[in-house]
Amino acid sequence: MAGQVQFAKMNGLGNEIIVADMRGRADRIAPHAAMALDHDPATKFDQIMAIHDARTVGTEAYIEIINSDGSQAQACGNGMRCVVQALSAETDKRAFTFETIAGILTAQEHADGQISVDMGIPRFDWRDIPLAEPFHDTRRIELQIGPIDAPVLHSPSVASIGNPHAIFWVDQDVWTYDLERFGPLLENHPIFPERANISIAHVTSRNALTLRTWERGAGLTRACGSAACAAAASAARTGRTDRTVTVTVPGGPLLIEWLDNDHVIMTGPAEWEFAGSLDPQTGAWQREEAASSQGAA
């Protein structure tokens, strides 16, 4: 199907997002088009949130989430906040129900502009994450980087918040670890058959932690909402924190609440950068303001 679609370049705490309006179309954004957009400095992104027509009664839209390497992601909390802000501006609605590959989720924009997303119930069983072999206690699995007798990182907690996550707990500043070097090795470790998001977490109080994340299919990111949720739930599960924490990622703070019904609520901002149109088959695009051609097929 030919023709360009409207998009908004946005970010959620520095997590670079493209929100693309694919409603009324039967095609998808091609993986090579996504990679072309990522290779352009102006449209470089962590995730594309492609808004498709609703497939399920009671939902506003089906959201396909595409990583910068063209692969699919199951969840992106920061991207979902960007979708809510974009649709709220279009419709004047404040509450939404969406379908993703990971299931149904709800989200709401508050009067102060902050946006809350119900990220669902975290899964801790090794089969659900998934892991390649049984671990009956996923609060701490056998996995390490570095020498056996003095590992740099070891014994992560693992969980699924739509995506697989491994959280390594450290006692020092998260910036003292070479995540850019360790991240790709751990993301592709054989224990993770679907790869994994790799995070380093430092608990600073009963209600706060700092976090850096190597995002599966995207690399280093200034914010990963599902990683913040996985870290918060795992911190509470291992007794490190209470069930409501502020998770500070490189882009800023996120409020994470692990409710009594086990749903994880993430609250944070979204920011609009610019609008344009793009070809979902090639990745060629143009900025709305100047309407001058950008990018390459």
The residues carrying an active-site annotation are 76, 224
Tokens of 244: 């409501």
Select from 1, 19, 67 the least CA-distant residue to 274.
19
Tokens of 257: 């609440």
Select from 120, 20, 116 the least CA-distant residue to 66.
20
Select from 163, 203, 160, 156 the least CA-distant residue to 179.
156
What does the chain come to in residues?
297
Q: How many CB atoms lie within 10 A of CB 290?
A: 10
In the block, residue with structure tokens 């990963």? 224
- 130 prior amide bond cis, ω within 30: yes
Q: Any bridge partners for residue 97, and if so which?
A: 106
Select from 177, 196, 180 the least CA-distant residue to 188.
196
Residues 293, 291: Cα–Cα separation, whole Å:
7
Residue 186, SS3 per DSSP: helix
Tokens of 231: 């870290």
